[in-house]
Amino acid sequence: MKQRLKRTAAALLALGCLCAASPVKVYADFDHTEFEASYTYPAQMRELSAMQLVNDMGAGWNLGNSLDCNTPYEETGWGNPRTTKDMIDAIADAGIKTLRIPVSWDGHYSDAASHTINPVFMDRVETVVNYALANDMYVILNTHHMRYQETVTTSRNTAVEQEIADVWTQIAENFKGYGDKLIFEITNEPRNGDSFWLPDSSSSSGYYNTVYYMNEAGRQAVRATGGNNSKRLIMLSNYAATGTPHMMAQWRKPADDMVAVSVHAYLPYDFALNAGGTTVFGAAEKSALDSFFSSLDSLYISKGIPVVIGEFGATNKGNDAQRLSWFKYYMEKANSNPAVSVPCVLWDNNSFEVGGEQFGYFNRSAKSFTSAGASFVDVMAGSYNSVPEPEAEAAGGNVELVSSPVSSGGEWSLICKLSKADVISNMEKYGTMYVEFSGCSKQPRLNADIEGWPHVREGVANSTGTATYTLSDVTGISGIDSAQELVLMSEDSATTVAKVYFKSDAPGHVHSYTGTSEILLEPTATTSGRKITCCSEPGCNEYKIELIPATGGNELPVLVFCDVNGDGNVDILDLNELSRVIMKVKSKVSGYNYDVNDDGQIDIKDVLAVRKKIR
């Protein structure tokens, strides 16, 4: 959770209309001192839907107890060091894609009556925002620990709504030119005092109504500023941002498609937050997470409403192994829907003791993660559309190797070594071995790594290209039975082998793709083109390329396997586009490749194929 200061709720005014927002001041530029001279903030709006954008946010981290510190000491008042760009650089380098920046603005009013934000503080916030944007991260900017956060009662408070409108008008104007990687979150945990729970009864309806209008005051203020803010993603909390099902069910969606639900989920409570609770993550705890994520799906995701878990974490009880199990299961549930991931943003308050609210994972003074924190973040970062390292023997028989040449002395240089067993196994299963190389006057030579260097034929003259070796070539090497390894040799020290793979030369059964590299399938003539389909060979789950006639004598477009939207790339946009079609949301493009696996249906199997390709 986070450090809180006890406040007295503001006096409630009679129901009335929200007044026009106070005059807006456009602020000076942020501090460029820590940035490269050429840096400018990103302004691109990619025309992504709310679901598409949220699906790309991935693993996140909270800059907790810094800019949300509401004391005269600003961001260092609660014991944390001043935020620097190299801190955020280290966060990004760990694989974190989203930075949530909690900000308490009301301690920095230069005029409390008009809620005018001190321009120096605005510029400081903007500088920290750009620390993340310079790393190509998403940024969630919110209003945190504001005095109005605890003023929710059964009656609307127009004075509070006015303050929210005033604050968000200023923030929105200042950031109006920023691109869609900047996200606004209107409130943090709006509630009645310190009450985070409401009964499941009609008596609670007024509280939910008040939260809705608080959210609306900020949302409408942002939209009214125009520019990129007219279509910027806005996150809206339910009462107290709680993960309790009956309270989540009362969240109301405005007439705005660019919104997402903001939920905080330190769950299950006794394990994740309660200092006196259990230290063991067991079956009951898993069941609680199952129930929570099921509620997210039924209440929001299945209805086309994206969800961001803006805060989560497990306090340190000296149980790192159990917390790691919790992280793994939490991330598994957040990514259990192959069409839609739920981004989770880790709460970090830089506190490393044992007990309640000890959410220190990244040591801001050392600018590095703790040992436990690094393992937790590795799990998080690896859970969202990550690209794994190439496998030694991938399912398609493709063995990926990237190697710098190592001199072995004498006339020849050693490029790389290959497992004899892997090579023969792949050749027997798939056929010819292909070696993509560059930087040598002759093709590489395949040798048995035994004394005497028996080898396959001398390479032909060619400085770059693809060399081929058949099973008979390899088994014909003298001494192959006793060789533990095969080696690729070159006469030139500058030779590099980019890839080694295996494929059959038999028509209609070509294994040349494993999901880790691009294959452009270009038409061969005006009367024929190429299409990639699932391999129909018994027991084979790979792919083949087959010739198909072109329509009307025209060339087929260049296809990339899993390129759903036809832009020549395979990325999160394809996954999102396919998800929109499956969820029956009107597509923005006329896709020609929705049926990715070519089975005649557009369903979850196509999503899994695209996701595998991205990973």
CB-CB contact of 99 with 185 (8 Å): no
- Name the stretches of the chain with pLDDT < 70: 1-29, 73, 385-416, 419, 422, 426, 429-430, 448-464, 476-485, 493-494, 496-562, 566-568, 580-601, 612-615
CB-CB contact of 396 with 543 (8 Å): yes
311 part of the active site = yes
Query: Residue 277 and residue 538: Cα distance in Å, rounded?
Result: 53
Residue 265: helix, strand or coil by DSSP? coil
Half-sphere CA count of 590, side-chain side, radius 13 A: 0
Query: Residue 522 and residue 516: Cα distance in Å, rounded?
Result: 19
Q: What is the pLDDT of residues 484-522, one digit of tens each?
A: 567 777 777 667 666 666 665 554 433 333 333 333 333
- According to CATH, what is the number of the domain 520-614? 1.10.1330.10
- Give the pLDDT confidence score for residue 157 in this predicted structure: 96
Among 126, 161, 163, 311, which one carries the catalytic annotation? 311
Structure tokens at 370: 């703790």
Question: How far out from the chain centre does Cα 297 lie?
Answer: 19
pTM of this prediction?
Answer: 0.65
- According to CATH, what is the number of the domain 50-381? 3.20.20.80
Task: Kindly list the domain boundaries of the chain, sorted by start residue.
Answer: 50-381, 398-503, 520-614
Query: Residue 383 and residue 236: Cα distance in Å, rounded?
Result: 25
Among 189, 357, 542, 577, which one carries the catalytic annotation? 189
Query: Residue 214 and residue 200: Cα distance in Å, rounded?
Result: 21
Protein fold of 398-503: Jelly Rolls (2.60.120)
CB-CB contact of 97 with 59 (8 Å): yes
Give the closest residue to 521 by CA, choosing from 545, 548, 553.
545
- Give the pLDDT confidence score for residue 182 in this predicted structure: 98
Residue 243: helix, strand or coil by DSSP? coil
389 part of the active site = no
Give the closest residue to 186 by CA, choosing from 308, 302, 77.
308
